[in-house]
Structure 1
Amino acid sequence: MPNTVLILGANGRFGRHAAEAFWNSGWRVRLFDRRTDTLVDAAEGADLIVNAWNPPYPAWQNEVPKLTSRVIAVAKSSGATVLIPGNLYVYGKGSAKRLSPDTPHRATNPLGRVRIEMENAYRDAGVKTIVLRAGDFIDTEVSGNWFESVITVKARKGLLVAPGHPNTMHAWAYLPDMAKAAVQLAEMRDRLETFEDVPFPGYALSLTDIALLASQATGRDTRIRRFPWPMIQLASMVWPMGRHLSEMRYLWDMPHEIVGERFRTLLPDFRGTPPGQAVARSLGIDIDVYPHQPVTRRNFGIAAE
């Protein structure tokens, strides 16, 4: 009998890819509908709950603890494992460049504290939990995240927008790969710790690297323009989302990458998509690249702000 997974937030970025990946791997997939479903009924008989619910930033403080409590309660009653797409917010400003399960969770900003408290709630509850932790998403369609909606929105016209210094190393996760990893971890859940923190290595790329990959995909030179943070800071006086975007700005200025030792120990045969192919697909371009083609670094002109 196939395993059953309940996807919470199936219309969101990770949830959408997770639903497809589990379905393609032979799982029975239930997509939770807030309009018609109750969580208790939807979780009955589920082997896994993917908690991909992600309210808008201004609602995190109020909604995330409530959603977390509900998921923990149904996981306890159903015996299901919970899988969460984790992020890097828990580490906080000034963290080490190389982020791993041993890196302390020292965030003091509001969004970081919400994520720390959420993860602690799962750990303290004793619910079987897998946190698949990743950097910023690279999606296959425009879905409202930084990469497609801001950074590369004009990449096919030869322009990238950089939220931080173009040469700052940044952690990225290609969503189809991350979803594939989620399936593989779920299928070995009985061999994992009760609370398993698994950093997804993905890619460590600067915006300069991404500009090169975009140029390789589009066949045209790519300029880099700085993101207009002063406008966001001004708007944040009356725009709550702007305040939270500014709150997380430090991640664009702090060089970081994810250490994948735990991931490779658990999934030694995992093969991800080459970064050039991931960037091209996010731009709607299908190209063939060698599986381990390196990123050749060079300097790019930075357009005036």
Structure 2
Amino acid sequence: MTRRVLILGMGGVFGTAAARAFRAAGWDVDRYRRGTDMGISARGARWIVNAMNPPNYHDWAGEIPKITSQVLAAARDSGASVMVPGNVYVYGREPSPWSIKTPHHPCTRKGRVRAEMEERYRAHAEDGHSVVILRSGDFIHPEAANTILNRLMLKDLRKGRITSLGKPEARRTYADLDDLTRVAVRLAETGDAEPGLLDLGFPGTVFSARELAEELSRQMGREIAIKRFPWMALLLASPVWELARELREMRYLYDMSHSIDGSEFSARFPDMTPKTLERIVFEHLYIRGLKVVPDQGRTMSTQTSF
């Protein structure tokens, strides 16, 4: 069976990490170039990994359905299976831990767009095709500059403070991209053995801004303060800055403690354990060239997986 994967959105945060993980596992990785014929690009591919988003966050409601139609048509024509990195927007304010049994009750425009997209993939799976939705919380990776953690939360770390986008005690789920894309590769090995939908939640690493600051303080040997994100300034910017509008729409998630049920994941991958907060902090400090106090990172090594 072919080991060729077509990755859409390979220049993005997930796409970059997925390409690295599939190549490391010996897969032939092809990059889809926006604007070209996706059906032709998908010929001979075993999987289409759809990590493509609208350019510059523009017209989410209009562009996502177009991308979905292209992916479904390419999958039908080529016979490729489809993998999509899913998010938690579809659950809205439903209580967590979220699982496949949690109803989709999106409370934002972006959540509704994603829920409608997933329904189309579900219908495709019901027609006898293989579809995997690998669901997770916010992406994190020490070398990915555009993650919320790097771009906003740790932006002022050298000044001795981090930024909390919501309640500092709210515990949220994060997905380290090394962990998540290794799961994607393992799913690709067997996920197309039987047609249908696999909606798999990745539990990731759950922590609050308060816990993050405490672990940073411990490893750096200095007090790390927490400041609140200036949402009012973002509100003023949102009429002209599309990224600001997208971020503001997701504000509720930063005030809301949440997690993903990991029981199905653990049953499927009993040998895989997501990175600890200690490891995540160490890697982010290491990439920034920030010194860890001797013995505070004693369980760590500078041998990272990226």
Q: Distance in 1 between matches of 2:157 and 2:262?
A: 29
Partner amino acid, structure 2, of 1:26: G
Of stretches 115-124 and 238-247 in structure 1, the one that deviates more from structure 2 is 238-247
Partner of 1:72: 72
CA shift at 1:288, angstroms? Answer: 5.5
3-state SS of 2:30 partner? strand
The 8 Å contact of residues 138 and 282 in structure 1, kept in 2 or not, is answered as no
Separation in structure 2 between the aligned mates of residue 143 and residue 206 of structure 1, nearest angstrom: 20
CA RMSD of aligned residues (A): 2.0
The amino acid across from 1:103 in the alignment is T
Corresponding residue of 1:296: none
- With over 3 angstroms needed to count, the CA separation of the structure-2 counterparts of 1:193 and 1:206, relative to structure 1, is farther
Indicate the SS of the match to 1:190: coil
**SS of residue in 1 equivalent to 2:59:** helix
One-letter amino acid of the structure 2 residue matched with residue 19 of structure 1:
A
- Check the 8 A contact 1:213/1:280 in 2, yes or no: no
CA drift of 1:146 comes to: 1.0
Instruction: Give the structure 1 partner of residue 107 of structure 2.
Output: 108
1:193-204 aligned within 5 A: 194-204=196-206
Q: TM-score scaled to structure 2, two decimals?
A: 0.88
- Runs of at least 5 residues in structure 1 that lack an aligned partner in the other structure: 292-305
Q: Note if contact 2:10-2:32 (Cα within 8 Å) is conserved in structure 1.
A: yes
Q: How does 1:90-239 map to 2 (within 5 A)?
A: 90-92=90-92, 94-126=93-125, 127-191=129-193, 194-239=196-241
Q: Name the aligned partner's letter for residue 289 of structure 1.
A: T
Give the AA of the match of 1:96. Answer: P
Q: Structure 1 residues 271 and 255 mapped into 2: Cα distance closer, same or farther (>3 Å)? A: closer
Is the CA contact (8 Å cut-off) linking 2:279 and 2:300 kept in structure 1? no
Name the stretch that deviates more: 281-290 or 247-256: 281-290
Question: What's the CA shift string for 1:51-86, capped at 9, x where partnerless?
Answer: 010224342111110000000111111111111111
Change (3 A) 1:176 1:58: same
Partner residue, 2:21: 21
Q: Cα offset for 1:192?
A: 5.7
Detail structure 1 runs of 4+ shifted over 4 Å in the superposition. 285-288
Q: Could you tell me how far apart the structure 1 residues matched to 2:174 and 2:32 are?
A: 27
Please tell me the residue identity of whatever aligns with 2:122. R
C-alpha spacing 1:125/1:190, structure 2 compared with 1 (3 Å): closer
Rounded to whole Å, the distance in 1 between the matches of 2:189 and 2:219 is: 35
CA displacement at 1:212 relative to structure 2: 2.0
Q: In the alignment, which of 235, 249, 252 is matched to residue 251 of structure 2?
A: 249
Q: Residue 158 of structure 1 contacts residue 215 of structure 1 at CA under 8 Å; is this kept in 2? A: no
Decide whether the 8 Å contact of 1:274 with 1:289 is kept in 2.
no
What is the CA-CA distance between 1:272 and the residue it aligns to? 2.8
2:304 counterpart residue number: none
Give, in angstroms, the shift of residue 268 of structure 1. Answer: 1.5
Aligned to 2:11: 11
- Percent of aligned pairs with the same residue? 40
Give the distance between the partners of 2:170 and 2:123, measured in 1 at CA: 36
Instruction: Indicate the SS of the match to 2:112.
Output: helix
Q: 1:224 to 1:79 in 2, by over 3 A?
A: same
Per the TM alignment, residue 233 of structure 1 is displaced from its structure 2 partner at its CA by 1.3
User: In the TM superposition, what is the alpha-carbon distance from 1:234 to its structure 2 partner?
Assistant: 2.0
Please report the TM-score for the alignment, with normalisation by the length of structure 1: 0.89
In the other structure, the counterpart of 2:30 is 30
Query: Is residue 2:299 matched to residue 1:289?
Result: yes
Q: In the aligned structure 2, how far is the partner of 1:248 from the partner of 1:186?
A: 30
Distance 1:112 1:24 in 2: 33
Q: Cα distance, 1:191 vs. partner?
A: 4.6
Whole-Å separation in 1 of the counterparts to 2:283 and 2:16: 16
> How far is 1:200 from its partner?
0.6
Alignment size in residue pairs: 289
